[in-house]
Amino acid sequence: MLEIYGFTPLHAAIGGALLGTATLMRMWLTGRILGVSGIAGGLVRGKASDASRWLFTAGLVAGGLGLQVVYPQAFAPVALAPWREALAGLAVGLGAGLGNGCTSGHGISGNARLSKRSIAYTLTFMGAGFAVASLLSSASNVQVQHAPLPPVDVVLRTAVRLFAAHACAYAAVAALVALDTLPQSVALNLTSLVDGTLFAFGLGLSGMTSPARVAQFLDVSAGTWNPTLMFVMAGGLGLMAPFMTLLVLPKRLGKPVLGKSFELPTNSTIDAKLLAGGVLFGSGWAIGGMCPGPALVNLASPHGAPLIFVGTMFAGLALSDSKQVCGCLGG
């Protein structure tokens, strides 16, 4: 039996619901997948001219700055060896690029539509994560000085206020488009900014801006386990899955509010490239306790930004697009 510790299911589910809301709203309004590595990774994979990618990424950092005000408990001092940070970032970036997704694009958006490719990738990176974190005792080596969490009712009120503010922003953009006072291209860009800030707040309130909580979830070598991350995913999927399976996939929604069609991935192949990406992503996630979304939000941390991780992550994303790497895996 594993000893459960550091378990905050209600905080996690509330934050996860905000993650699911951001993912749902992006699909409903624009017809696009919310995948952090796919959106931000495009900046180093030949799509840097797309303003919406810059604005979404900026929204993640801006959301991090907002967390300093509304929920400072999202950030804490992190003790992570530089080699771990560098190796973790490189593996996460390379794995996300090869697998065309991460914990958001595959973990929430892909699994919500019951994509076999996303399910395979998720199972692969989870399996690799548990194995590598337990082998390297990540829970002991990814140390964070957490501040006490506020009561659940305080977190819930904060989440409701954040949701209301973002709902007003989404509604305002949609209304301006309907009144022909805002070009649709500008509306899509503004929506990406709002998506980014709401997703950042979800990560903060759920506790996923802490790499230690991820390490505690993946590392079971000491006979202890922190299952909080499961409830974050449940909170996100609990909103996104019904929306996708009951409305989008059966085509009960003809088109997104601000777009012409729902842009769902059509690739259903489960190949060596996908699985190798899952192994690399899960290994990096286990070593450093971070994936693309939390790392970018942590650029706003008052305790120091994970610059090494973010730098090597983008290097890995760029490298994953090279012909040499793809050729070795048959891609």
In angstroms, the Cα distances linking 92 to 104, 119, 215, 309 are 13, 18, 14, 9
d(CA 204, CA 306): 16
Nearest one of 8, 74, 120 to 303, comparing CA atoms = 74
Q: Where are the alpha helices (DSSP H) in the chain?
A: 9-30, 36-41, 51-70, 82-99, 111-112, 116-135, 138-141, 152-178, 184-206, 211-218, 228-243, 272-288, 292-297, 307-320, 323-328
Amino acid occupying residue 145: Q
Q: pLDDT digit string (tens) for 206-253?
A: 999 999 999 999 999 999 999 999 999 999 999 999 999 999 999 999
Q: Is the pTM of this model over 0.85?
A: yes
Confidence (pLDDT) at 147: 86
d(CA 189, CA 50): 9
Helices 116-135, 211-218: inter-axial angle, 10-degree rounding = 90
DSSP characters over 131-173: HHHHHTTHHHHSEE-PPPPPPHHHHHHHHHHHHHHHHHHHHHH
Domain count, the chain: 1
d(CA 133, CA 159): 31
Nearest one of 26, 11, 64, 34 to 235, comparing CA atoms = 11
Phi, psi of 144 (to 5 degrees): -135, 135
Phi, psi of 282 (to 5 degrees): -60, -35
Report how far Cα 177 is from the mean position of its chain's Cα atoms: 28
Confidence (pLDDT) at 245: 97
Q: Both tokens of residue 124?
A: 């692969």
Range of the domain at 77: 3-264+271-328
Q: Both tokens of residue 210?
A: 């802490």
d(CA 183, CA 177): 6
Q: Which residues contact 48 (CB under 8 A, 6 or more apart)?
A: 42, 54
d(CA 184, CA 186): 5
Helices 272-288, 307-320: inter-axial angle, 10-degree rounding = 170
Helix (H/G/I), strand (E/B), else coil: 3? strand
Instruction: Give the HSE-up count for residue 218: Cα atoms under 13 Å, Cβ half-sphere.
Output: 33
d(CA 250, CA 270): 24
- Across the chain, which has 331 residues, the per-10-residue mean pLDDT values are 92 98 98 96 96 98 98 94 96 97 94 96 98 96 90 97 98 96 95 98 97 96 96 97 97 94 93 97 98 98 96 97 64 55
Burial pattern 71-88, b for ≥16 Cβ within 10 A else e, equals: bebbbbebebeeebbbbb
Q: pLDDT digit string (tens) for 187-217?
A: 999 999 999 999 999 999 999 999 999 999 9
